[in-house]
Structure 1
């Protein structure tokens, strides 16, 4: 039987190009804020940690619908996809209201994590702007998920790459000021992000209206009333998936808030290391999105054996890419750190943290791939529990203990390295657990399919 790897790779590279463009928005803000001032970079680190925690959790609920639409495509049910997309708008509206409420009232989060008082005002202003860009970002995520499920990720990537040419000059201009506009500092980066979110949404609506690939879905019919059964199905799949992503992301973003106690130098170095880690994460994420769409397609077509074969092919590729990228970062960690800052202190501390990033990237790649494929089989609760125990307990809790309380008679290690080391150990255990769970699920599904055949 012909390997699906070429198709998966082609789709993964296309998704990756779009994801890297989106990441370039964050890289742009990090570099711009770093060049503006160390305090601006620290405020960006904290503000982006809060925003990303909220956005990615809500995005995860919508992204988890991908297997449903891919299965419907495999079964040739185009009209059902259109009706399902219209129902997803109700879910998007509820998510937008919830997310905006959190972003407009971040005070309890900032107080709980002991963010320095001198940074809180700028962080609040940054989050207030991003709150009003959240609905557009979530609506664009529906468009993105639909296009990936249909096997046309290029229809998303074109827009994401094009928007980079809006984001980059706007961030520089609004942060530093010029042409009659005052310097807004880190809040300027937020305004640039808001403009990009609405530009992407308008372009996506134009694509849905005009591109022929979406015509069979009959998307532009009058929205049906909320379908309780359909929405409950979305929530059964999406809510645990969104919470799992929230745990995964907050295991990193809460690190930023706790590390902020160590001062602007530690916060700035952590922000750079986290940014590099997320850029690397885009590779296995793109592969996981592409592979899960194909796994669900073949499941919808009734070919469980081929679905399992695609899953293992993608797993092997994720392991290979994870090893390669981790090794490259280990060798290039100091030059990479130097791209973000001209401060010798920041570069030195960041280079040490990037060694930890490189060490745990293989585990991160494997666990990312596994959790996406497990969602194709409606396995979402077990990964959530594993994430909660290991990433929050062993990773975040272990890092906090090492950094601020000490361990086994050793004094506290007041360094971001304490958090990165503990997180690396936790990710390794998560990867082992998810691999075992995926092996078990695929084995049981193939046996069930053989009995039915």
Structure 2
């Protein structure tokens, strides 16, 4: 009997809800900093917006490469190859350490990013200090991504969630102390946000190592108490990078198509970019729901591919997209109709609310399009398809999104209506780009399924 959408939703929920809560905790790092700096200084809030855009642009691309461990381990786990699954975690850690060196160079020398934003010297100084602190956070953050990708692939996301929630609970008082000072700590403003994040990231990575060594669950993967980090295995590293580089590039294009908006919008002034930061944080929080569904769908699809059950894998993929679309429509509607009250939770500054309110007109459509393309991308990665999505992202998100937004906002076109001018122009173009990406990735997934039907795989030998 074929599974219905509701049946597959029940299969996805045990994997989706821990990822959702864990990612909300991660995103809440930025939310905490945004709320605290909104009460501290608009200049520091603008620096956070620009600095966070730079960091996320660097981190997400590198994270995407490391997270190639997830679809690889997912297929191995589905095939019952447990020790091979554990071996991939070792190679993912080496990948994370190597990429951290490259990422830190970008954070320590952010000149190209700052040149785009055209910020004043006061804001630029704060951005550089903030990124210096985050350079210390990047290595443990990427190593933790290897641990996270492995756990999600073997259907064990709850332990990752627990560590992420614990990190948030430590981050809240630490950021407050470092931003506002007191008890021997000087006021650090936006620099305090970065320093608090770095401390928490190191503690979180060390806690993951302790769990990995002491939890008997990992023994079946050869990750027992006395196991040491294996040497780099070049064929396995090559396999991970072959999938990971286009994955990381696609994620970087996806995220920079959004985060670079802050760098361009910074030209419109600190109040406008601060209002944009509120809208960004809100839509990023909403994004965690389709992200969690995509993670769950991608994990199950990879496992079913490994088990040679391609029919179930195809069905799970399409059902994941339908589920993501449905949840996104409802959540987007709720935020759209309650947008004034939602923004009131962030700030009482009338100027900031006025700057952010017009942007939320696009959030509903933006979120729905984002949900479809997100789940479709996760399912495609489960099939080890990453290069074609990268090309689609380049054309849709950079070409239409950033290029179109820059043209609407700064092109000086007289006939563009006020609703599509300034920051709103960027949001309109980004929404259109996401819609095109959602269509393109869905067509690509349908083509991949058609090719599988034309060339069915032979059943796997008995193990």
> Which residue in 2 is equivalent to 1:42?
46
Partner SS, residue 167 of structure 2 = helix
> Which residue in 2 is equivalent to 1:416?
423
Inter-partner Cα distance in structure 1 for 2:458 and 2:422: 56
Q: TM-score, normalised by structure 1?
A: 0.97
> Which residue in 2 is equivalent to 1:144?
148
| Residues matched between the structures, number | 453
Partner SS, residue 407 of structure 1 = coil
- Provide, for residues 84-140 of structure 1, a one-character-per-residue CA deviation record: whole Å limited to 9, x for no partner: 211222211111000011101112321243222221111000000000111010111
> Which residue in 2 is equivalent to 1:298?
304
> Which residue in 1 is equivalent to 2:34?
30
Indicate whether 1:170 and 2:174 are aligned.
yes
> Which residue in 2 is equivalent to 1:240?
246
> Which residue in 2 is equivalent to 1:271?
277
> Which residue in 2 is equivalent to 1:251?
257
Indicate whether 1:438 and 2:442 are aligned.
no
- In the alignment, is the contact (CA less than 8 A) between 2:113 and 2:263 conserved in 1? no
Aligned equivalent of 1:187, options 184, 187, 191: 191
Inter-partner Cα distance in structure 1 for 2:283 and 2:53: 14
Partner SS, residue 36 of structure 1 = coil
Partner SS, residue 324 of structure 1 = helix
What's the CA shift for 1:345? Answer: 1.5
Partner SS, residue 455 of structure 2 = helix
Matches within 5 A, 1:210-225: 210-219=214-223, 221-225=227-231
Indicate whether 1:367 and 2:367 are aligned.
no
What's the CA shift for 1:307? Answer: 0.9
Inter-partner Cα distance in structure 2 for 1:326 and 1:222: 47
What's the CA shift for 1:409? Answer: 4.9
Aligned equivalent of 1:66, options 67, 70, 77: 70
- In the alignment, is the contact (CA less than 8 A) between 1:334 and 1:348 conserved in 2? no
> Which residue in 1 is equivalent to 2:139?
135
Inter-partner Cα distance in structure 1 for 2:9 and 2:410: 46
Aligned equivalent of 1:287, options 287, 293, 311: 293
Indicate whether 1:331 and 2:337 are aligned.
yes
- In the alignment, is the contact (CA less than 8 A) between 2:89 and 2:147 conserved in 1? no
- In the alignment, is the contact (CA less than 8 A) between 1:247 and 1:388 conserved in 2? yes
Inter-partner Cα distance in structure 2 for 1:20 and 1:225: 34
- Provide, for residues 221-244 of structure 1, a one-character-per-residue CA deviation record: whole Å limited to 9, x for no partner: 344432222111111100001011
> Which residue in 1 is equivalent to 2:108?
104
Inter-partner Cα distance in structure 2 for 1:225 and 1:195: 28
What's the CA shift for 1:7? Answer: 2.3
Is the alpha carbon distance of 1:179 and 1:87 closer, same or farther for their aligned partners in structure 2, counting shifts above 3 Å? same
Inter-partner Cα distance in structure 2 for 1:451 and 1:210: 39
- In the alignment, is the contact (CA less than 8 A) between 1:363 and 1:431 conserved in 2? yes
What's the CA shift for 1:40? Answer: 1.1
> Which residue in 2 is equivalent to 1:230?
236
- In the alignment, is the contact (CA less than 8 A) between 1:251 and 1:392 conserved in 2? yes
Q: TM-score, normalised by structure 2?
A: 0.95
Moved more, 304-313 or 225-234: 225-234
- Any unmatched runs of 5+ in structure 2? none
- In the alignment, is the contact (CA less than 8 A) between 1:356 and 1:424 conserved in 2? yes
Moved more, 355-364 or 47-56: 355-364
Inter-partner Cα distance in structure 2 for 1:279 and 1:59: 19
Partner SS, residue 92 of structure 1 = helix
Inter-partner Cα distance in structure 2 for 1:127 and 1:396: 23
- Provide, for residues 283-334 of structure 1, a one-character-per-residue CA deviation record: whole Å limited to 9, x for no partner: 1111111111110101111111111111122111011111111111111111
Inter-partner Cα distance in structure 2 for 1:97 and 1:380: 24
